[in-house]
Amino acid sequence: MNGAKSLVETLLKSGVDTCFANPGTSEMHFVAALDQSVGMRCVLGLQENVVTGMADGYYRMKGKPAATLLHCGPGLANGLANLHNARRAKSGIVNIVGDQATYHRPLDAPLTADADGLARAVSAWVRTSARSADVGRDAAAAVQAARASQGQIATLILPSDTSWDEGGVVGDALVVPASPTLDPFAVQNGGAVLRTQKNVLILLAGRAALGASQALAWRIAQATGATLMADFVTGHVQRGRGRLQLERVPYNTDMAVQTLARFEHIILVNAKPPVGFFAYPGKPSKQYSERAQLHVLTRDDQDGEAALQALVDELGAPSAAIPDPGARPDVVTGAPTPEGLAQTLAAVMPDNAIVSDESVSYGRGFYKNTYAAPAHDWLHLVGGAIGAGLPLATGAAIGAGGERRVINLQADGSAMYSLQALWTQARERLPVTTILLNNRKYSILIGEYHAVGAAPGPTAMSMLDLGNPNLEWVKLANGMGVEAARATTLEGCADLMRQSFRQSGPFLIELMI
Ligand SMILES: Cc1ncc(C[n+]2csc(CCOP(=O)(O)OP(=O)(O)O)c2C)c(N)n1
């Protein structure tokens, strides 16, 4: 057995059965080994940032890591932005990076690069296999690292001779270490704060924003009068009927400061203290009050749900029914508005849908009008590196087994970073409806100009304009095998959504906003 075959067999034995790939010469033996082993689903992405973003979306829905296959340092570098996003979302991913053969590396051939250095920027675990006999052992350790601490990025770099040399040994699956244990003092302290203090905020992030944690947090809130919110940067929120009407801390610094001003105690559950995405002249970096005391119930590598359960027990908080969000709204008609689109989405969304939200400026208020939608999962961009929405939607569809409709709320500028994901959606016949929000500009940056106190002139404004020439989204989608149509009204958009939900494959709606 060569090293490559031992790699594929070890991944399968460790429970990794999906590989998002963009291969090159140094990965040819891995690709060949895929034909010799049964059970590995391989999905081709046409740019590495699509590959890594798909692996992120897959993990968020499946709760277990996929592998990526990337070509040398430059291939890894292309995938770094979405690995950055995945790291911040606490997604477990096993990157396999093929590299120059051990003896070829000193010759400084063209694709030789510091793959190790690039990997370290985003990975919790990095290793380069030295010989074929080590590949299986190293791959098992990579999977273990990817599953540890509530999900991490692990990168295994394989010089090509470690793949083609004989002597491969299949590695045994390794036990995943439990997450760092809860701090009983943090639970006790949280209980004391909640019992004795007013103006307490419980801030949820990470997997503490999923349904089971919400139900526990709601019991605590009902018993103590605390307020619940989700952090703005939360990767995965379960929403709709049966879930809490949870608002996120606003993106806008002034609004965030205003929202958080009244809280004297903030209990952080997998959340970090809320700070602005950026600093702005004359504005605070920290969005919470200077008087507020922060209490870390759990860090993001700990189990927030278990901590909330411990807090429920500490407080003896009784069961509490999740409030009813009211009647499901109707489709809105006329020209698109953010509120109208959110309401229309809530009106037509199928049960158990997944929303991949990279709507950027247009989607800031989508939550309010979608509480009464059927239960659904909502995925956000947490690392701020745009170009995640389309790959996330694609990977999420695969992670959900192709059985749930994915609705991608996608701003046009961000879509252009990774639009190749549409081709993978078509090839894999994935049930993804992309609502492409076409405003032909980098709208958010116009607001940011004003926020930093800069005065944009015509040259500056032309840097934010995507209208010269216009991007033709129906043609772009069709060119990658995805059916598409344009809508200029909300009722038109609703009709196309319904039509797309009846089909099994992908569909793109270009909504002119
Ligand atoms: C990787 C990366 N490159 C650049 C940026 C800077 N950036 C933030 S938002 C944005 C434009 C977003 O435009 P669009 O997706 O059309 O959304 P809109 O602003 O129109 O709502 C850019 C370029 C970023 N956040 N990440």
User: Would you say the CB of residue 154 lies under 6 angstroms from ligand 1?
Assistant: no
> Letter for the amino acid at 451?
A
Residue identified by tokens 């076409």 is 438
Sign of CA dihedral 305, 311, 313, 318: negative
Q: C-alpha 19: how far from its chain's center?
A: 17
Q: Tell me which residue of 393, 397, 400 sits closest to 421, measured CA to CA.
A: 393
CA of 386 to the centre of ligand 1 (A): 6
User: Would you say the CB of residue 440 lies under 6 angstroms from ligand 1?
Assistant: no
User: Would you say the CB of residue 442 lies under 6 angstroms from ligand 1?
Assistant: yes
Phi/psi of residue 74, nearest 5 degrees: -65, -35
Q: Tell me which residue of 269, 326, 322 sits closest to 299, measured CA to CA.
A: 269
Residue nearest to atom 23 of ligand 1 (CA): 442
Q: Tell me which residue of 63, 64, 57, 62 sits closest to 86, measured CA to CA.
A: 57
CA of 444 to the centre of ligand 1 (A): 7
CA of 508 to the centre of ligand 1 (A): 20
pLDDT of residue 261: 98
User: Would you say the CB of residue 356 lies under 6 angstroms from ligand 1?
Assistant: no
Residue 207 and residue 236 in contact, taking contact as beta carbons nearer than 8 Å: yes
Residue nearest to atom 10 of ligand 1 (CA): 442
Phi/psi of residue 425, nearest 5 degrees: -60, -40
Dist. CA 366–CA 77, nearest whole Å: 33
The residue ranges of DSSP E strands in 319-385, in sequence order, are 353-358, 376-380
CA of 2 to the centre of ligand 1 (A): 44
CA of 375 to the centre of ligand 1 (A): 29
Dist. CA 345–CA 376, nearest whole Å: 12
Among 49, 122, 362, 386, name the best residue to mutate to test ligand 1's pocket (greatest count of ligand atoms within 8 A of Cβ): 386
Counting from 1 in the atom list of ligand 1, the atom nearest the Cα of 412 is: 16
Helical pair 3-13 and 28-36, crossing angle rounded to 10 deg: 60
Dist. CA 491–CA 341, nearest whole Å: 10
pLDDT of residue 250: 95
Among 414, 443, 473, 510, name the best residue to mutate to test ligand 1's pocket (greatest count of ligand atoms within 8 A of Cβ): 414
User: Would you say the CB of residue 360 lies under 6 angstroms from ligand 1?
Assistant: yes
pLDDT of residue 179: 87
Sign of CA dihedral 35, 40, 41, 43: negative
CA of 99 to the centre of ligand 1 (A): 32
pLDDT along the chain (513 residues), means of 10: 97 98 94 92 98 98 98 98 98 98 96 97 98 98 97 98 98 94 96 98 97 98 98 97 97 96 98 96 96 97 97 98 97 98 98 98 94 98 97 98 97 98 98 98 90 88 94 98 98 98 97 98
Dist. CA 38–CA 54, nearest whole Å: 22
CA of 385 to the centre of ligand 1 (A): 8
Residue 417 and residue 392 in contact, taking contact as beta carbons nearer than 8 Å: no
Dist. CA 297–CA 17, nearest whole Å: 35
User: Would you say the CB of residue 384 lies under 6 angstroms from ligand 1?
Assistant: yes
Residue 298 and residue 307 in contact, taking contact as beta carbons nearer than 8 Å: yes
DSSP summary character for residue 111: T
CA of 459 to the centre of ligand 1 (A): 18
pLDDT of residue 479: 98
Among 442, 449, 513, name the best residue to mutate to test ligand 1's pocket (greatest count of ligand atoms within 8 A of Cβ): 442
User: Would you say the CB of residue 396 lies under 6 angstroms from ligand 1?
Assistant: no
- Helix, strand, coil in percent for the chain, rounding step 5: 40, 20, 40
Which DSSP helix (H) or strand (E) runs through 442?
A: none
User: Would you say the CB of residue 338 lies under 6 angstroms from ligand 1?
Assistant: no
CA of 211 to the centre of ligand 1 (A): 30
CA of 277 to the centre of ligand 1 (A): 13
User: Would you say the CB of residue 441 lies under 6 angstroms from ligand 1?
Assistant: yes
